[in-house]
Amino acid sequence: MKNSNPPKPKDAFPKRPFEDQVNDDQRKYSRYVCDSRAIPHEIDGLKPVQRRILWAMWNSDARNRYTKTVKVAGLAMGYHPHGDRSIQDALSQMAQDFTFANNIPLVSGEGTFGDVLDPSAIASPRYTEVKLSDFAKDLGFFESLPDIDYVKNYDETEDEPIHFVGKVPIVLLNNIQGIATGFRCFIPAHRLADIVKSQVNYLKTKKPLPLKPWYRDFGGEVRMAETEAGNITMATSFAFKWEGDILYLTDSPMNWNREKVVSLIDDIIERKDSWLKDYVDYSSQTFRIELQYKKGEKPTQKEIMALFNKEDVQTLAMNVITYDGKLKNFKPEEIIKRFCDFRKTHLIRRFKRLSGLEEEKIERNSELIRFIKEKWNEKVIGIKSKKDFEDKLKASKFKYFEWLSTIPVYRMTIDEVRKCEEAIVEAKTALSRYQGLVKEDKKLTDFMITELDELQTKWDKV
DSSP secondary structure string for all residues of 38-51: IS-BTTT---HHHH
With the CA atoms of 57, 58, 62 and 68 taken in that order, what torsion angle do they form, in degrees rounded to the nearest 10? -10
Spatial contact of 133 and 57, defined as CB atoms under 8 Å apart: no
3-state DSSP: the chain helix, strand, coil percent, rounded to 5? 45, 15, 35
Burial class (CB in 10 A: 0-12, 13-18, 19+), 397: exposed
- Residue 133 has phi, psi (to 5 degrees) of -75, 155
Burial class (CB in 10 A: 0-12, 13-18, 19+), 357: middle
Spatial contact of 190 and 198, defined as CB atoms under 8 Å apart: no
Q: How far apart are CA 183 and CA 38, in angstroms?
A: 9
Q: In what order do the strands lie in the sheet with 129-132?
A: 67-68, 129-132, 107-110
Residues with catalytic roles: 127
DSSP secondary structure string for all residues of 179-221: E-SS-EEEE----HHHHHHHHHHHHHHS-PPP-----TT--S-
Q: Shortest CA distance to 169 belongs to which of 374, 411, 361, 331?
A: 331
Q: How far apart are CA 388 and CA 417, in angstroms?
A: 25
Query: What is the phi-psi region of residue 202: left when phi exceeds 0, alpha when psi lies from -120 to 50, beta otherwise?
Result: alpha
- Where b means 16+ CB within 10 Å and e means fewer, 256-282 reads bbbeebeebbeebeeeeeebbeebeee
The residue type of 439 is K
Cα–Cα distance list, 19 to 10, 29, 241, 383 (Å):
19, 15, 59, 78
